[in-house]
Chain A
Amino acid sequence: MDIKLKVRRQNPEADDKPFWKDYAVEVPEYYTLLDALLKVREEVDETLALRCSCRSHICGSCGMRVNGHAALACKTKLSDLDQETVTVEPMGNMPVIRDLVVDLEPFWNKLYSIKPYLQPATDPPEREYVVPNETMFHLDGVVNCIMCGACVSDCESLSVNPIFIGPTAFAKEYRFVLDPRDAADRERLSQMNGPGGVWDCTHCFQCVEVCPKDVAPMDRIMAMRRMMMDMGMEQHNGAKRANAFMDLVGTYGRLDETRLLMRSVSGLGELMSFSKVGFRALWKGKLPPLKPHRIAGAPAVRRILERARNQRPRRFKVHQAQEEGVRA
């Protein structure tokens, strides 16, 4: 089949700006994008820079943006894309070293910042740790991470907030928080409660969508938010929002954005910063009624929410394992 690869290239030392270069190649049906790029490099243009190693989605080296979204080139079959032209760009949120090769140093630094190693409460046992199987099952999904950086490449929050810890490191943090051998849960979680932490995630699902290993980093972030709130870390605007939301839906059956905002932000100053937006809305006849109307079944909704919440076990490590069971 004939295919055109439209590749964004740049050698930051020589070029001021990235430029597009098209390569037309004929390849067999079964080719992956990586196969095609390697063919280009071998037969058409030896200056094209890219990274790869295993060619079988294990090593995590060949992350790049394919038609706008991060993917592993070796896991992307050209016949699946079903397009004559495929756009190939380096991953985002990381500086380009050359062409499709990006600098992963910031990526690794974020990962190191969460202390990606066990911090047990006691001295290590003489031989290996022994833990019951059930307490590790639910970590299967996270330990599958191959550190390819695809999630970080497409992370929306990171694109506007450089101190954001980012999906890979959060997924790794979750892995240690829920590891029965690690005892630094509280410390780990309280670090995630500040600037750049879990509440700075914009819940956009990009990391979930692009991850080639179904690690679902955002789901882990949401789980950590939950654990933090369950542990009583409820001062952050995000936690206040979650609690207020539950309460408003329990009261009215529906959401009232104005009340939610009032109960989620901290202090008058922050509230005032929203006042212009509110006045403009009022002027256009857009603001919800002062007293939100209650849906017909509101009391039933409250009962349901309360009963559902009472089913939450106190010990979150156990609870999490159950939740993961449902997700699988």
Chain B
Amino acid sequence: MKYAFYPGCVAKGGTPELYQAMTAVGERLGLELHELTGAACTGAGVITERDPFAGDVVNSRTFAMAEQLGLPVMTICSTCTGVMMGVKSRVDAHDDYRERVNQLLADEDLHYSGQTDVKHLLWVLVEDLGLDKLKAMVVNPLHGMRLAPFYGCYVVRPSKDVDPLRLGRMGYLEKVIEALGAEPVEEYRGKDKCCGFPLLETNRRGSLALTGKRLAEARDVGADALVTPCPLCHLNLDGQQPETPDAGRVDAMPVMHLPQAIGLAIGIPPERLGLHRHIIDTKKILAKVAVAG
């Protein structure tokens, strides 16, 4: 399985442990990742907010780069994924619009035909690798752990863009958690809600209130930790957790990146997964897992 790997800025910036974990896990899972080092930021929805056409062009540039390699794009960020799928819904469907986009790509000798597939790691695990294969690689099942899935808005909404074939992608995270031997907390109501990240600069109080709510919902159903395929969610749920309204008065809630949870189960040492680089201590998780080397 080969992919044009698009790590996204946050995995290479604010959550370096995600990039680290993905590299280690990708190797073990047999994913051949060709990193698109020349690709630009998706714009995280903000470029689209400022100028939708500019957002469509910048992302089509990335798709064109993958097209040159003849590979589908693999992402590890819910936000990147959602932005790209939104762009595809406009650019792929309208030939004349895509022509306008391509005119701006011609400078770099790039051309996007409207065919590049975009897949989040989460989708790759279920649709390309297969859960059975994943299960077979588990050497250190996360038995006894109650892991609450936290999707991040953009990998599940709008469903017409991110799951156009209605494959039931909202539901994959629970399946992966189960394959790793842990118990997915199905009743976690926060799983497809917002962590508050987009309000960080515009309404901090609202942002922290949302973050706090998502953590409280996980605590209420007895989760040991959250697992997320979105580094922006991680920045908020982990990084801003000490700032949430009831921090200090309640138990802290560790938050794992999806590749970290996989890594633990397939026997990659926690240091290689960067689990020591979180704001909220992950020792609680590690104590529960009989860590194999």
Contact = CB atoms under 8 A, between A and B. Distances in A.
Contacts of B189: 68
Contacts of A291: none
B213 A309 contact: no
A34 B277 CA distance: 51
Contact of A237 (B48, B61, B201, B235): B201
Contacts of A41: none
Given A201-B198, A249-B41, A277-B240, 14 more contacts: A68-B189, A156-B193, A236-B202, A237-B201, A238-B201, A253-B38, A254-B40, A284-B279, A286-B239, A300-B108, A304-B105, A305-B54, A308-B54, A323-B52
B203 A199 contact: yes
Nearest to B10: A257
Contacts of A6: none
B64 to A, nearest CB: 11
B44 to A, nearest CB: 7
Contact of B104 (A201, A245, A307): A307
Given A242-B49, A277-B239, A199 B41 contact: no
A118 interface: no
B278 A311 contact: no
Interface residues of B, number: 66
Size class of the contact patch on chain A: 35 or more
Interface centre among A200, A205, A206, A296 (most CB of B within 10 A): A205
A209 interface: yes
Nearest to B55: A308
Contacts of A304: 54, 57-58, 61, 104-105, 107
Contacts of A156: 193-194, 210
Contacts of B16: 285-286
Interface in B238-266: 239-240, 242-243
B37 A295 contact: yes
Interface stretch (A7-15, A48-56, A139-147, A157-165): A157-165
A255 B44 contact: yes
Interface in B215-231: none
Contacts of B240: 277
A254 B51 contact: no
Given A205-B153, A280-B279, A326 B9 contact: no
Interchain residue pairs A-B with the least CB separation, the first 3: A205-B157, A308-B54, A160-B209
B13 A242 contact: no
Interface in B1-35: 9-10, 12-17
B129 interface: no
A28 interface: no
A205 B40 contact: no
Given A157-B199, A295-B38, A308-B57, A203 B45 contact: yes
Interface in A33-79: 68
Contact of A280 (B17, B154, B239): B239
A157 B50 contact: no
A312 B201 contact: no
A256 B41 CA distance: 10
A204 B194 contact: yes
Interface stretch (A96-104, A121-129, A177-185, A222-230): A222-230
B113 interface: no
Interface string B51-91: 11110011001000000000000000000001000000010
Interface of A is mostly: helix
Given A160-B206, A296-B37, A226 B49 contact: yes
B51 A309 contact: yes
B19 to A, nearest CB: 12
Interface centre among A160, A241, A277, A323 (most CB of B within 10 A): A160
A226 B50 CA distance: 6
B40 A309 contact: no
Nearest to A296: B38
19 contacts: A156-B210, A200-B199, A204-B194, A206-B193, A222-B48, A236-B202, A242-B50, A245-B50, A254-B41, A256-B9, A257-B9, A270-B204, A285-B277, A295-B37, A296-B37, A297-B40, A300-B108, A303-B107, A309-B51
A202 B196 contact: yes
A281 B54 contact: no
B242 A200 contact: no
A301 interface: yes
Contacts of A301: 40, 58, 61
B13 to A, nearest CB: 4
Contacts of A157: 199, 203, 206
B149 interface: no
A225 B49 contact: yes
Contacts of A285: 16, 277
A208 B104 contact: no
Interface centre among A245, A280, A304 (most CB of B within 10 A): A304
Interface in A171-211: 199-206, 208-209
Nearest to A260: B201
A225 to B, nearest CB: 6
Interface in A261-316: 261, 264-265, 270, 273, 276-277, 280-281, 284-288, 292, 295-298, 300-301, 303-305, 307-309, 311-312
A286 B37 contact: no
Contacts of A261: 200-201
A245 B194 CA distance: 21
Contact of A277 (B9, B157, B201, B243): B243
Interface string A108-146: 000000000000000000000000000000000000000
Contact of B203 (A161, A209, A245, A287): A161
A327 interface: yes
A284 to B, nearest CB: 5
